[in-house]
């Protein structure tokens, strides 16, 4: 697999899990949009930057999974901090359970094939 | 050295708002999107991160994605469909009209058979009326499911003939200026003038009929999002 193929595959894998990761990070601690991008980067998730994360954050807000709160700052501009709602926590728990089942299934499938499958 | 252009927040916002207007995002939603994005860009700017580093070079694409994900309401102008339907709908009127006109005015008209001004005016008025009626009926039957189409058709019935009456002397004046040339570019300009006036009247009629949509805060972004079960 070339580095380009690897990168594309990584992007595809992340596409289905990015909203869950965003929700998990916000569940740990509320953050504003740019801060969330930074946390995703620190977590090792190449999420595609603010251009990808911010629209997704807006959708999650529209779905009622996160709520925003404007925080006035005495030293800087006001900023909108996003936090997970009770509905968001419920959704996150459901997504985590679903993800665990999926990962277990994939791992089991890969383990079956660990010997090379050329017997 | 970074190749990312150093946009200001105002430039980035202007680009995004232009794209949202092009997408006919409802003004209330546009204001909400704009306010939220500006707050975020300003907060990032305070930390030394510019808009271009955040959004990337494709502001329009970002604005489109944001509007899609936010599921904002769009004002259903449907200008392209409306204009196309109006043009297609005018064709039967043109064909029938010319058949009637040519039945009464031999072409090419001989000097001895020159019709009177009254006859010509009457013939072309009938032709124009047929074209307008044919177009309006088609618009109504094909697009009646769109919101406020009744008002749109009424507005067109008023404004399209008015535009025709106004643009005719202007076009004739232009034709006189170029000594009634029948060169292709001249004819194309004359046709363009008439088409622009009629299209403008149609767009104005549609905007007028949807003024309620844009004036009221229809389907704005939720200030407090609804909670939904997982």
Q: What 3 state SS string does B21-72 have?
A: HHCCECHHHHHHHHHHHHHHHHHHHHCCCCHHHHHCCCHHHHHHHHHHHHCC
Predicted-assembly ipTM surpassing the 0.85 threshold: no
The better pLDDT of the pair B215, A12 is held by A12
> In this complex, do A78 and B43 lie within 8 Å of one another by their Cβ atoms?
yes
| Predicted confidence (pLDDT) per residue in A84-113, tens digit | 999 999 999 999 999 999 999 999 988 877
**CB of A74 less than 8 A from some CB of B:** no
**CB of B69 less than 8 A from some CB of A:** yes
Q: How many CB pairs under 8 A join A and B?
A: 92
**Does this model's pTM top 0.80?**
no
Q: Residue B226's pLDDT is what?
A: 39
Q: Residue B219's pLDDT is what?
A: 41
List of chain A residues whose C-beta atoms are within 8 Å of the C-beta of residue B46: 76-77
Using pLDDT thresholds of 50, 70 and 90, give the confidence band for residue B132: very high
**CB of B136 less than 8 A from some CB of A:** no
The mean pLDDT value of chain B amounts to 83
**CB of B143 less than 8 A from some CB of A:** no
- Is the pLDDT at A76 greater than 80? The verdict is no
Find the residue in B nearest to A90 (Cα): B230
> In this complex, do A58 and B44 lie within 8 Å of one another by their Cβ atoms?
no
Cα B185 from Cα B19, distance rounded (Å): 33
Q: Judge residue A58's burial from the number of C-beta atoms within 10 Å of its C-beta, 0-12 exposed, 13-18 middle, 19 or more buried.
A: buried
- Is the pLDDT at A62 greater than 90? The verdict is no
Q: Any idea which of A65-69, A100-104, B68-72, B109-113 has the lowest mean pLDDT? A: B109-113
Region B56-74: mean pLDDT is 86
Using pLDDT thresholds of 50, 70 and 90, give the confidence band for residue B147: confident
Q: Residue B175's pLDDT is what?
A: 92
**CB of A15 less than 8 A from some CB of B:** no
Tokens standing for A32?
A: 């504003």
Region A51-80: mean pLDDT is 85
CB-nearest partner of B66 from A55, A68, A79: A55
Calculate how close chain A gets to B91, using CA atoms only, in Å.
Answer: 44
Is the bond preceding B108 in cis, omega lying within 30 degrees of 0? yes
Q: Residue B227's pLDDT is what?
A: 42
Q: In what order do the strands lie in the sheet with A31-32?
A: A31-32, A79-84, A66-71
> In this complex, do A64 and B221 lie within 8 Å of one another by their Cβ atoms?
no
Q: Residue B26's pLDDT is what?
A: 87
> In this complex, do A80 and B49 lie within 8 Å of one another by their Cβ atoms?
no
In this structure, the strands spanning A31-32 and A66-71 are unpaired
**CB of B40 less than 8 A from some CB of A:** yes
List of chain A residues whose C-beta atoms are within 8 Å of the C-beta of residue B47: 34
Region A57-63: mean pLDDT is 90
Listed in sequence order, the residues at least 6 apart from A84 whose beta carbon sits closer than 8 Å to its beta carbon are: A23, A26, A27, A30, A65, A66, A92
Calculate how close chain A gets to B80, using CA atoms only, in Å.
Answer: 28
Tokens standing for B87?
A: 């043009």
Give the DSSP per-residue string, chain B. Answer: ---S----HHHHHHHHHHHHHHTTB-HHHHHHHHHHHHHHHHHHHHTT--HHHHH-S-HHHHHHHHHHHHT--B----HHHHHHHHHHHHHHHHHHHHHHHHHHS-SSPPGGGPPPHHHHHHHHHHHHHHHHHHHHHHHHHHHTTSTTHHHHHHHHHHHHHHHHHHHHHHHHHHHHHTTT---HHHHHHHHHHHHHHHHHHHHHHHHHHTHHHHHTT-SPPPSSPPP---
| Predicted confidence (pLDDT) per residue in B25-56, tens digit | 888 889 988 988 888 888 888 888 888 888 88
Find the residue in B nearest to A37 (Cα): B54
**CB of B213 less than 8 A from some CB of A:** no
Cβ(A92)–Cβ(A20) under 8 Å?
yes
- Is the pLDDT at B197 greater than 90? The verdict is yes
The alpha-carbon radius of gyration of chain B (Å, integer) is: 25
> In this complex, do B70 and A58 lie within 8 Å of one another by their Cβ atoms?
yes
| Predicted confidence (pLDDT) per residue in B81-107, tens digit | 999 999 999 999 988 888 877 776 655
């Amino acid at each position: 697999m070339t580095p380009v193929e690897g990168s594309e595959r990584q992007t595809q894998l992340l596409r289905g899990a990015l909203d869950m990761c965003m929700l998990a990070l916000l569940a740990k601690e509320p953050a504003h949009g740019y801060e969330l991008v930074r946390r995703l980067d620190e977590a090792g998730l190449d999420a595609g930057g603010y251009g990808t994360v911010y629209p997704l954050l807006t959708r999650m807000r529209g779905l009622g999974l996160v709520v925003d709160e404007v925080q006035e700052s005495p030293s800087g501009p006001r900023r909108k901090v996003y936090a997970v709602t009770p509905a968001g926590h419920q959704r996150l728990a459901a997504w985590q359970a679903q993800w665990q089942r999926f990962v277990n299934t994939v791992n089991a499938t890969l383990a079956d094939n660990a010997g090379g499958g050329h017997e | 050295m970074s190749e990312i252009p150093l946009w200001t927040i105002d430039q980035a916002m202007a680009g995004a708002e232009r794209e949202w207007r092009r997408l006919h995002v409802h003004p209330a939603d546009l204001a909400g999107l704009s306010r939220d994005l500006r707050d975020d860009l300003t907060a990032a700017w305070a930390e030394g991160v510019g808009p271009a580093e955040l959004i990337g070079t494709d502001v329009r694409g970002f604005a489109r994605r944001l509007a899609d994900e936010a599921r904002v309401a769009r004002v259903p102008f449907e200008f392209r469909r409306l204009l196309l339907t109006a043009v297609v709908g005018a064709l039967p009127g043109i064909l029938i009209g010319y058949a009637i006109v040519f039945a009464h005015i031999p072409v090419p008209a001989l000097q001895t058979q020159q019709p009177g001004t009254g006859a010509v005016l009457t013939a072309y008025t009938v032709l124009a009326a047929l074209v307008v009626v044919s177009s309006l009926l088609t618009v109504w039957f094909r697009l009646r499911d769109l919101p406020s189409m009744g008002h749109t058709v009424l507005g067109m019935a008023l404004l399209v003939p008015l535009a025709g009456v106004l643009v005719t002397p202007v076009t004739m004046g232009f034709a006189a200026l170029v000594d009634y040339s029948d060169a292709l570019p001249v004819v194309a300009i004359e046709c363009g003038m008439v088409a622009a006036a009629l299209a403008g009247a149609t767009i104005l009629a549609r905007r007028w009929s949807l003024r309620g949509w844009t004036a009221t805060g229809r389907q704005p972004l939720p200030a407090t999002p609804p909670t939904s079960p997982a």
